[in-house]
Structure 1
Amino acid sequence: MRAEFVNPFLVSLLNVLKTMATMELTPQKPRVKKDEIARGDVSGLIGMVGPKIAGSMSISFEEGLALEIMEKMLGERPKAINEEISDMVGEITNMVAGGAKRILSESGYDFDMATPIVVSGRGHTISHKCKGAIIIMPFETQWGNAHIEISFE
């Protein structure tokens, strides 16, 4: 997978969390993911299909980070992952994919996005349906980690 497909998602995630939650994430080293186990406690997954590309992206948040984002965005902090946290993760997933879509369209790569699916629970799985490699990029914060996964055919 080429960096020109991955970087717009990374830039968009950093921008969304900085803008919406005044939060800075520290990028770590990307790698190829070999399994389907999520690296967080709540994940948003979105599919993307266009004339030249097809793929999917997911964002997983550890519980502490998801709760902190909720507090920074909405001023309320639930005790655990709940329906509001799931809705927030779905919206963040949608915003990140939308931001990447804008960047990629400038290079001639257009795609339509599906509605995000949100899954939660320790050890849940994320299944990217396309045939491409899955690149996972960890991000660290003082409240926990986030991981973005990107897979394109």
Structure 2
Amino acid sequence: MNVNFINPFLDSLIHVISTMASMELSSGKLSIKKDNDAKGDVSGLISLIGPQTKGSLSISFEQKLILEIMQNMLGENPGMINEEIIDLVGEITNMVAGGAKNILADEGYEFEMATPTVVSGQTHTIRHKVKGQKIIMPFDSHFGKAFIEMCFED
């Protein structure tokens, strides 16, 4: 995986949550992910395809955190993961990928983005459709954890 791809996605997640939900996320330790198990309760997954490489991004949220994000962004808290939360996770995934896409375009990398897919449930899985090493980084907040995963072709 090209290490130049990592920080734009991490920075974009922090920026989106900070500006849109007025919340701070603190990053944990980046590591290689060996399985397909999602670490959160709801996950957005988006494919990124460009002339230099292709990859995918997923963002997973623990339920308590995504409910608080929705409260801060929209003034609503449904108390559980529902269709509105699923839509919000898809939109956050899209915003994070779009922010990273803009940063990478300035560095000469171009990507097209697919429409995000959202999966939920305590035992859901995330399957990246490209062959490459998966990396994951946890983020902590006062309301729970978020996890960002990236996988790009070698």
- Identical-residue share of aligned pairs (%): 63
Correspondence for 1:60: 60
1:133-144 correspondence runs (5 A): 133-144=133-144
Correspondence for 2:98: 98
Instruction: Give 1:73 deviation, angstroms.
Output: 0.2
User: Deviations along 1:46-105, whole A, 9 cap, x unmatched?
Assistant: 001011010000000000001000000000111100000000000000000000000001
* DSSP 3-state at the match of 2:102: helix
Instruction: Give 1:107 deviation, angstroms.
Output: 1.2
Q: Which runs of 5+ in 1 are unaligned?
A: none
Q: Which runs of 5+ in 2 are unaligned?
A: none
Q: TM-score, normalised by structure 2?
A: 0.98
Correspondence for 2:149: 149
Tell me which amino acid in the other structure corresponds to 1:89. V
Correspondence for 2:12: 12
Name the CA distance, whole Å, in 1 between partners of 2:107 and 2:16: 21
Name the CA distance, whole Å, in 2 between partners of 1:95 and 1:3: 21
Tell me which amino acid in the other structure corresponds to 2:47. G
Correspondence for 1:49: 49
**Which contiguous aligned blocks of 4+ residues in structure 1 show a shift greater than 6 angstroms?**
none
* RMSD of aligned Cα (Å): 0.6
Instruction: Give 1:41 deviation, angstroms.
Output: 0.2
Correspondence for 2:124: 124
Name the CA distance, whole Å, in 2 between partners of 1:53 and 1:99: 18
Residues paired across the two proteins, number: 153
Instruction: Give 1:35 deviation, angstroms.
Output: 0.2
Name the CA distance, whole Å, in 2 between partners of 1:61 and 1:3: 24
